[in-house]
Amino acid sequence: MYVCRDWGGQGMVTAANLLGMAAVNDGNYSIVIPFFGAEKRLAPTESYVRISSQKVYEKGEVGYPDVIMVFHPEVITKGKCYTMPFYYGLRPNGWLIINAESPLLSEEDARSIADLNVRVLYVPASRIALDVAGTELATNMSLLGGLAGATDIVTLEGLEKAISQRFGGGKFIASATTAALDDVLKKKYAKTQELLEKNMAAIRKTCEFVKNSPSADSTPS
Amino acid sequence: MLERKVVSPEYMFFEAPREKKYLIGNEAVAEAVKRANVDMVISYPITPQSEATHIVGDIYAQGYVKDYYRGEDEFNVMSAMAGAAMGGVRAFTATSGPGTLRAFEMFPCWAGERLPIVCAFMTRGVNSPLTIQPDNIEIGWLADTGMLIFHAEDPQDFFDMILQAYVIAEQPDVHLPVGVCADGFFVTHTREIVELTPEDEMLPPYDPSVSPVVTMDMETVPVRHMKDPFVMKSNYISYNTHASWQQEVRAAAERARKYITRYMGSPVEVVHPGAEILFMASGTAAAQARVAMERMRAEGIDIGLVKIKVIRPFPEKEITELAEVPRIIIIPEHNITGWLARDIKSRVNNNAKIYGGPRVFGGMTMPPEMLVEETKKLLLNLVTA
């Protein structure tokens, strides 16, 4: 069970949907639910993803996640989060995947997280998005690649299919606000095909980055 | 738009092949409207409903719905829905929490006018303080309007129940509005696998000629109690007409039971009926109770679940019978008033064994962990006592 934490407007809800779609493409069951206040950018936003080989009934927030993904560092540094501390409920031996260039946990948080034997992974997702896809708007894609690199809960093939379903003229229907952002993206890339390819490139690049990163399969001491 | 063919409700519900799609509840609503052969949709946006009628607007543009417009507010919309249904068309709308309350006068009017409108209620907390989060307090109020009320557990239920609602609502001996309720966000915004019937198959069109009240048009005057209101004459006949008509509306809801059995199977779903402890729950509280039940059964606790799909007409016979066996009945709810506990307690003999709670309201999640903990506390108290 996974929690994604973010500022509103950064693409985290879309990423959670893609993760759920990818899990279904992989042959699993999945439930995705977003949580936010009145819709606006820069407010705390969360999305909960449950993935299982069996039908999932449980609804609502994931109180005890196995993985927490942080899409914006200010979730941590400025407490832009629904729970305090931001890793509240994270299960022992779980994963913490953070979009940041370098470590930013306070000493106290780092200690508590080490006590849980949680694996912490810093991924420069925004930089990879800018380098590979040419826009920070693909940060959410990078982080999905990070998850696929660190764990085996979702495959790159599942993600690729999900991205083509989502952006490739499939039957996915976005909410009005998401649709507006999609238009900005589509103009930027001119062609849907290019959009798909660049999104996948961001995913692959981050996946590779994480696989080569020492913390990917080691636990903190 | 696809070339479409009419199929019988029996075929659509029980025989048609199903295709798995990964949808949120609001998308499942639009898929149901598409297959329900709806003539007219009138909308007014409110979170968490907005997306549903937004997408229905898209399928209107594609030709799947004959007419669609956005009203000026919820009262306007629900009044216009009455007009559409009186004119003999199949109509659909949806609203949430504060929107439900703004429009409330119209719901007993729909029932009194015997209009087979289907309205989806994506329940939400009501003000104040202002909230957009899930809380289903409004279902308790809707329960006394004379409408039939169904409560969906997940997007699949939401899809199925909207289609079933039209077929049940339009039976000549029923002819009542149906409120199909689902907990906001926990159903409307939750993405999961939904099994859909073929996109090119739709229900038979509504036949207003079999309506128990006359369809209104420029040549036909409205039903008697509309054109010549008894309110104008304060006498025994006028009071008695109002009293007997209210009874007729309730009798029509009673007559809906046989169609509920035919098209929905049963108004309740029972898992482990002979258990020592039973959860009785509706909507997403039933989903959470299902998870808590499985965890406790794995620990050897003898617990089962009754999911109540139909709130009105209340499944009195089923609930009283099921309540005979267990030693404890626990009724978790997503509202502060405990309308379901009230309904059940008032009908069950020996209701001291009924625990009306736990209740989660204001938009929070009902964690299965909490249901497990509360159940164990009750068991411990019972042993100590």
DSSP string, A137-172: GGHHHHHHHHHHHH-SSS-HHHHHHHHHHHHTT-S-
Chain position carrying tokens 């019988």: B8
B51 touches A: beta carbon within 8 Å: yes
Beta strands in B25-135 (DSSP E): 40-43, 67-70, 91-95, 118-123
The number of distinct structural domains making up chain A is 1
DSSP A132: I
pLDDT the model gives residue A189: 54
Domain CATH for A103: 3.40.920.10
Point out the residues of chain A with pLDDT beneath 70: 1-2, 4-9, 38-40, 169-182, 184-191, 214-221
Whole-prediction pTM value?
0.93
In this structure, the number of other CB atoms found within 10 A of the CB of residue B161 comes to 25
The angle subtended at Cα B211 by Cα B208 and Cα B217, nearest 5°, is 55
The angle subtended at Cα B376 by Cα B373 and Cα B378, nearest 5°, is 115
Sort out which chain B residues have CB atoms less than 8 A from A37's CB and list them: 132
Residues of chain B with CATH 3.40.50.970: 5-209
pLDDT the model gives residue B236: 82
pLDDT the model gives residue A181: 64
List, as ranges, residues 54-83 from A with C-beta within 8 Å of B.
Answer: 56-61, 63-64
CB-nearest partner of B186 from A21, A38, A59: A59
Sort out which chain B residues have CB atoms less than 8 A from A175's CB and list them: 51, 54
- C-alpha B197/C-alpha B12 separation (Å) is 7
B211 and B223 in contact (C-beta within 8 Å)? no
Distance of CA A146 to the CA centre of its chain: 8
In this structure, the number of other CB atoms found within 10 A of the CB of residue B279 comes to 28
pLDDT, tens only, B150-186: 999 999 999 999 999 999 999 999 999 999 999 999 9
- Which of 3.40.50.920, 3.40.50.300, 3.50.50.60, 3.40.50.720 is the CATH number of B268-384? 3.40.50.920
- What is the ipTM metric for this complex? 0.88
B70 touches A: beta carbon within 8 Å: no
pLDDT the model gives residue B134: 93
A40 touches B: beta carbon within 8 Å: no
Per DSSP, helices labelled H in chain A are: 12-25, 74-77, 107-115, 125-128, 139-150, 156-167, 176-189, 192-211
Helix (H, G, I), strand (E, B) or coil at B195: strand
In this structure, the number of other CB atoms found within 10 A of the CB of residue B58 comes to 14
pLDDT the model gives residue B235: 78
Instruction: Name the CA radius of gyration of chain B, rounded.
Output: 21
pLDDT the model gives residue B324: 95
pLDDT, tens only, B94-143: 999 999 999 999 999 999 999 999 999 999 999 889 899 999 999 999 99
Rounded to the nearest 5 percent, the helix, strand and coil shares of chain B are 40, 20, 40
Residue A58 to residue B187, Cβ atoms within 8 A: no
Domain of residue A112, residue span: 2-217
Residue B21 to residue A171, Cβ atoms within 8 A: yes
A89 touches B: beta carbon within 8 Å: no
A35 touches B: beta carbon within 8 Å: yes
Residue B193 to residue A35, Cβ atoms within 8 A: no
B376 touches A: beta carbon within 8 Å: no
| Cis peptide preceding B128, ω within 30 of 0 | yes
- In a 13 Å sphere around the CA of A194, the CA atoms on its Cβ side amount to 11
pLDDT, tens only, B28-83: 999 999 999 999 999 999 999 999 999 999 999 999 999 999 999 999 999 999 99
pLDDT, tens only, B291-315: 999 999 999 999 999 999 999 999 9
- In a 13 Å sphere around the CA of A107, the CA atoms on its Cβ side amount to 0
- C-alpha B102/C-alpha B71 separation (Å) is 13
Which residues neighbour B104 within 8 Å (Cβ) at sequence distance 6 or greater?
B141, B145
Picking from A115, A118, A70, A112, the residue whose alpha carbon sits closest to that of residue A94 is: A118
B116 touches A: beta carbon within 8 Å: no
pLDDT the model gives residue A215: 58
pLDDT at B227 over 70: no
In this structure, the number of other CB atoms found within 10 A of the CB of residue B18 comes to 11
A2 and A67 in contact (C-beta within 8 Å)? yes
Chain position carrying tokens 């949709």: B41
Residues of chain B with CATH 3.40.50.920: 268-384
Architecture of domain B5-209: 3-Layer(aba) Sandwich (3.40)
- C-alpha A204/C-alpha A132 separation (Å) is 10
